[in-house]
Amino acid sequence: MAGGEDIGLEDLATATEIAQVIRRIARVARDLSRRIARGPLEGHADTVGENSGGDAQKALDLIADDAFAAALKGSPVRWYASEERENVAELNPGAGLALAIDPLDGSSNIDVNVSIGTIFSILPAGPDPLASVLRPGTDQLAAGYVIYGPQTALVLTAGQGTSLHVLDPRTGRFELATARLEIPAASSEFAINVSNYRHWGAAVRAYIDDCLAGETGPRAKNFNMRWIASLVAETHRIVSRGGIFLYPSDARRGYERGRLRHVYECAPIALLVEQAGGAATDGCDRILDRVPQSLHERTPFVFGTADKVHRVAAYHDLPHEEVAALFGQRGLFRQ
């Protein structure tokens, strides 16, 4: 297996400093993909602690976090904001960029050999660490994710479309596979953790009820469901073949704003999805317009094929009697 300095990605359509950061991230991702492929032979699936958000930390979460931070020393990244760190760290004083990162996404899947990932967002660095990352998602200079699955792939945007780069394990290079991803408009798949059904609000219940009712319901169409519990894997399926993802707020303690983190999960995925022709909201409003107030802030998250995402927002606008009605009586979305 090749392990040299040649990482590919020569043709990144972005400013040199950003391209330099992306290549460093890609090198770490290549190393991680090899470690992940060895699975239990590496013994990195053990729970070793808890992060500031109260999530269990697996050894691989911390290994990945340390590896990205170390690889970005001497790079144009001044501020490093990670899911695994309570505060923003200064890596390179005076440098011009900030990086927000979920070093290892989908950690509950590490020990079961299901796809996991890395998500990152590149922003301009100002003098203040927090202010540099607490910006609207529209300020992102670039965003991407790496999926560690049957293939390891890097999906990137610098604001001019979303591209797919696949790691060739024979050469250790990321090769361009699709220059411009377009989320397909026709899809009948939805993704949501239905075990939380009883905790959801009325609008989300109504939307899912109508999907589940299939041909006999107001949508007059059958739907299929997926739930991988890895945001990156879910995103990759949706940018490849369309559909919708929902992680709404719910009534459980601590889930008042859903589960996913705005800065290093939802904002970068929202930019990638919009740049592939899709939409991303908090259920009602565009994610990229929201300004987060704290580093680990959560947000409800709905993204995917644009008309599906807009339909979810429309359910939130329905009058109470309509949304609370059993699907049999709900008239508005009857086709």
Ligand X SMILES: O=P(O)(O)OC[C@H]1O[C@](O)(COP(=O)(O)O)[C@@H](O)[C@@H]1O
DSSP 8-state symbol, 229: S
DSSP per-residue string spanning 252-315: STT-BTBSSBIIIIIHHHHHHHHHTT-EEESSSSBGGG---SSTT-B--EEEESHHHHHHHHHH
Of 124, 115, 134, 117, the closest CA to residue 25 belongs to 117
**Applying CB under 6 A, which of residues 37, 130, 229, 332 lies at the interface with ligand X?**
229
CB of 225 to Mg ion, least distance (A): 21
Residue 143 region by backbone torsions, left for phi larger than 0, else alpha for psi between -120 and 50, else beta: beta
Nearest residue (CB) to ligand X, 33 versus 230:
230
Q: Is 105 in the site for ligand X (CB under 6 A)?
A: yes
List alpha helices for the chain, DSSP H: 16-38, 59-71, 129-133, 202-212, 231-241, 267-275, 306-317, 320-324
Residues tagged in the binding site annotation: 83, 102, 104-108, 193, 265
Stretch 42-61: interaction string toward ligand X, x if CB under 6 A: -------------x------
Nearest residue (CB) to ligand X, 229 versus 306:
229
Q: Which stretch binds Mg ion (CB under 5 A): 79-87, 120-128, 137-145, 185-193?
A: 79-87
Residue nearest Mg ion, Cβ-based: 105
CB of 84 to ligand X, least distance (A): 9
| Sign of the dihedral defined by the CA atoms of residues 58, 302, 300, 133, in that order | positive
Residue nearest ligand X, Cβ-based: 231
Stretch 82-101: interaction string toward Mg ion, x if CB under 5 A: -x------------------
Q: Which residue has the tokens 């958000």?
A: 53
Q: Is 259 in the site for ligand X (CB under 6 A)?
A: yes
Sequence-ordered list of residues with C-beta below 8 angstroms from that of 45, at least 6 positions apart, any chain? 39, 58, 59, 60, 110, 111
Q: Is 230 in the site for ligand X (CB under 6 A)?
A: yes
CB of 76 to ligand X, least distance (A): 25
**Applying CB under 5 A, which of residues 105, 210, 234, 250 lies at the interface with Mg ion?**
105
Cα distance between residue 163 and residue 67, in whole Å: 24
Residues tagged in the binding site annotation for substrate: 105-108, 193
| Residue 148 φ then ψ, to 5° | -105, 95
Of 110, 99, 100, the closest CA to residue 59 belongs to 110
Neighbours of 214 (CB within 10 A): 14
- Look up residue 103 and give its amino acid: P
Instruction: Look at strands 77-82 and 152-157 and give their pairing.
Output: unpaired
Q: Which does 229 bind (CB under 5 to 8 A by kind): ligand X, Mg ion, none?
A: ligand X
- Contacting ligand X within 309-328 (CB under 6 A): none
Instruction: Look at strands 116-124 and 97-105 and give their pairing.
Output: antiparallel
Q: Is 234 in the site for Mg ion (CB under 5 A)?
A: no
Nearest residue (CB) to ligand X, 178 versus 193:
193
**Applying CB under 6 A, which of residues 57, 107, 132, 163 lies at the interface with ligand X?**
107
Nearest residue (CB) to Mg ion, 188 versus 193:
193
Q: Is 115 in the site for ligand X (CB under 6 A)?
A: no
Report the interface residues with ligand X, using CB under 6 A: 55, 83, 102, 105-108, 193, 229-231, 259
Report the interface residues with Mg ion, using CB under 5 A: 83, 102, 104-105
